[in-house]
Structures are given as C-alpha cells and as structure tokens.
Amino acid sequence: MFNSSFAEGHAAATSSTPTSPPHRHIVVDDPFDLFHTILHYIYSKRITFVNNLDIVLSGRQARKSPKLCSAEDIYAIADRLLLDDLKRKALDFLEQTCTGENIVARTFGELASLYPEVRVMYAKRFFKNKDVVNDPEEVRKFFAALQSLGKHNGLIYLIAALTK
C-alpha cells in the first residue's frame, strides 16, 4: 500500500502503485466543424470563407480540408479566441461580399448587434451602396428594421458610424 516516510522526518506519503496522468476533457459549445476550421487555419494559415452556406451544403464537398463554415461564425470564434489576423480576414471578406440584397439583413443581424466593428462597417457599406439607398423597398426594410429595434438604437449606431 503506502510507505510512510515519517520515520525519516518527511511529512509526505509515497505510493508504490504508479498513477496515470489525469485525463483532460474539453467541452465546447461551438460546432466541431467550426473548431476544425479554426485549428486548420492556426496550423496552415489557410482558410476558405463562404457567404452562403445553403448553396455550398446543397452540393457535395469533395475536399480534404475542413468543411466550409460561415464567415460570420469564423469572425465570432476568432474574436473569442483572440485570433486578430483571422478576425481581420473574416471582416474583410464580409465587407467585400456586401450586396444590395444582403446589406439590410447584415446591418441588423446578430453579428452586427454583438460586434461594434462589424456594425460600423455594415452601416458604412449600407449608405455607400447606392442601389440600396435609391431602392424604396430596401429603404422601407431598413427603417422597419430600425423601428423593430425599439428606441432607435440602430440609428444611433449608424449615425456614429457615418460620422467617423
């Protein structure tokens, strides 16, 4: 069992049976594919962003690299893991892929509500996009989204973005 070392003046007991190292279990709330993509980026410095996962997921992926993940998800996890270079790449991709069809949804989406840097970038892109600003239907959607936020918090963010 245990050999005592008290006779020699030591206050510790030693075990004659070997102990195995403790096992470490890491529980994550995020999808495996997202973490796989991030780990692949950390080790290879390569990543592929996608704008519309529905189109990608409808076709077969014959890829050896990780499954494709949303650029918005990659931005959020890069922020959480303090991967500033990956966060910047994701933000650049999101900015380059802003269109008249997606800018209203993005401006008032979850990512913009959580990250001021994204909110400001989307707000600037919204007002620079002449197709959206000149389209009465898009402007109506924009103001309906503003109104649904209550107390016009979104308008405050947009005005702040435009004054920078």
Domain co-membership, 114 together with 155: yes
51 occurs within a structural domain:
yes
10 occurs within a structural domain:
no
Give the best-scoring range by mean pLDDT among 5-19, 89-103, 132-146, 147-161: 89-103
Number of domains in the chain: 2
Choose the final residue of a domain: 63, 97, 131. 97
Domain co-membership, 39 together with 88: yes
Question: Three-class SS of residue 13?
Answer: strand
Domain co-membership, 162 together with 103: yes
Lowest mean pLDDT among 25-29, 111-115, 127-131: 25-29
Lowest mean pLDDT among 32-41, 90-99, 127-136, 154-163: 154-163
Residue span of the structural domain in which 159 resides = 99-164
7 occurs within a structural domain:
no
pLDDT over 90 (residue 32)? no
| Neighbouring residues of 50: CB distance < 8 A, sequence distance ≥ 6 | 56, 68, 69, 70, 71
CA-CA-CA-CA dihedral for 118, 130, 135, 70, to nearest 10: -30
Query: Residue holding tokens 């389209």?
Result: 135
87 occurs within a structural domain:
yes
**What is the pLDDT averaged over residues 46-53?**
80
Query: Residue holding tokens 């303090």?
Result: 82
pLDDT value of residue 158: 58
- In this prediction, residue 151 has a pLDDT band, given cuts at 50, 70 and 90, of very low
**What is the pLDDT averaged over residues 124-152?**
69
Inter-residue long-range contacts of 36-40, CB under 8 Å, 24+ positions, other chains counted: 36/66, 36/67, 37/66, 37/67, 37/68, 37/69, 37/74, 38/74, 38/77, 38/78, 38/81, 38/83, 38/86, 40/65, 40/66
Domain co-membership, 103 together with 74: no
Question: Three-class SS of residue 56?
Answer: helix
Among candidate residues 84, 161, 73, the one with its CA nearest the CA of residue 125: 161
Domain co-membership, 150 together with 109: yes
